[in-house]
Amino acid sequence: MAKLLTLMVSVCLAATLASAPLRAEEKIADVEQAMKIIARNYRAISKSDDPALLTRDLQAIRSAAQQAQGMIPNKPKGMTEHSEAHKTYLTGLSKLEDQTDQALALLADGKVPEAKKVIGEMKTVRDHYHKELKVKD
């Protein structure tokens, strides 16, 4: 019985840690990690209507996007700090931040359906920039 209880606690703790949002002070190592954090939190907000969870996960997305702006991704190959591809990458992240801010403002006003609409539009922007930069999901 004790082993079963220990196993259950371990599974619950692992699930909690795996879904934990990015904290503001948490540093991201590379663009790939930032994109994984953004994707994980986007999946969570696309399935939720809870304003507190939406706010938490949108803040995690915003933090990851801000940190990713200071990095140069490995894909597409040959991207440099002054390349057109890098400018496109930065524009996409900037649009993501704008949408995140817009959704957060709507949530602060208690407008969950309107915030969810903005959240839905985030996927369209992601798809556009992934296609333009030839990034596979």
Q: What is the pTM of this model?
A: 0.78
**Which residues define the annotated binding site?**
35, 130
**DSSP state at residue 76:** S
Is residue 3, in this structure, part of any structural domain at all?
no
Integer Cα distance of 49 and 15 in angstroms: 20
pLDDT for residue 2: 60
Read off the pLDDT of each residue in 43-58 and give the average, rounded to a whole number: 96
Q: What is the pLDDT of residues 12-40, one digit of tens each?
A: 444 444 444 555 456 778 899 999 999 99
Integer Cα distance of 13 and 25 in angstroms: 22
The residue segments making up the domain with residue 115 are: 23-132
Q: How many domains, the chain? A: 1
The yes-or-no verdict on residue 55 having pLDDT over 50 is: yes
Is residue 18, in this structure, part of any structural domain at all?
no
Is residue 11, in this structure, part of any structural domain at all?
no
Q: How distant, in Å, are the alpha carbons of 85, 99, 135, 137 from that of 118?
A: 25, 7, 23, 21
Q: What is the pLDDT of residues 62-101, one digit of tens each?
A: 999 999 999 988 877 778 888 899 999 999 999 999 999 9
Q: How distant, in Å, are the alpha carbons of 18, 33, 48, 101 from that of 116?
A: 24, 25, 9, 13
**Which residues define the annotated binding site for heme b?**
35, 130
| Burial class (CB within 10 angstroms; exposed 0-12, middle 13-18, buried 19+) of 37 | buried
Is residue 69, in this structure, part of any structural domain at all?
yes
The CATH number linked to 82 is 1.20.120.10
